Amino acid sequence: MKKTLLLWPALAVLALDQATKYLIATRIPLYETKPLISGFFNLVHIRNRGMAFGIMNRPGTDWGFILLLGATLGAVALLLFWFYRLKSEERGIAFPLSLILGGATGNLIDRVRLGEVIDFLDFYIGPYHWPAFNAADSAITVGTLWLAVTLLFHPTLKEKKA
């Protein structure tokens, strides 16, 4: 299995994530909203120093930022380690690992460069909004779900031999 080829999805996610964040940051002023589908979807420009759902998103809490930065660096390192230790029969988990790696790297770049992450996708129904997110978050979520389903339902080598 040629592992370098399997990194292309991570690079694609990273490029898409950084391009979309650049477009939002240069075209929509901070805290502005651009309705796209009335009653369902907006583009917004917000910044999040914390993690999912705004957890630890408090200005002036440097310990939280350092914790998130360290955790993200650790996660990227573990993903790379796992990715490169994959055996050929485990290639089914390479793609979801690549999605997670690309998303984590995209958000890591924002944290290092800006001290926060740009979020811009705002889905809602009436007054009920899902917390805003970005392309990296989407890749991490899809990759994690895909990985979980694959690990839970993929037969192991021992079961194949039996």
Cα–Cα distance for residue pair 68/73, rounded to 1 Å: 8
The residue type found at 79 is L
Report the 10 Å Cβ neighbour count for 140.
23
Answer whether 139's CB lies under 8 Å from 102's CB: yes
From the candidates 17, 110, 119, 122, give the one annotated as an active-site residue.
Answer: 119
From the candidates 17, 110, 122, 137, give the one annotated as an active-site residue.
Answer: 137
Is 137 among the catalytic positions? yes
Burial string for 86-107 (b: 16+ CB within 10 Å, else e) reads beeebeebbbbbbbbbbbbbbb
Residues carrying an active site annotation: 119, 137
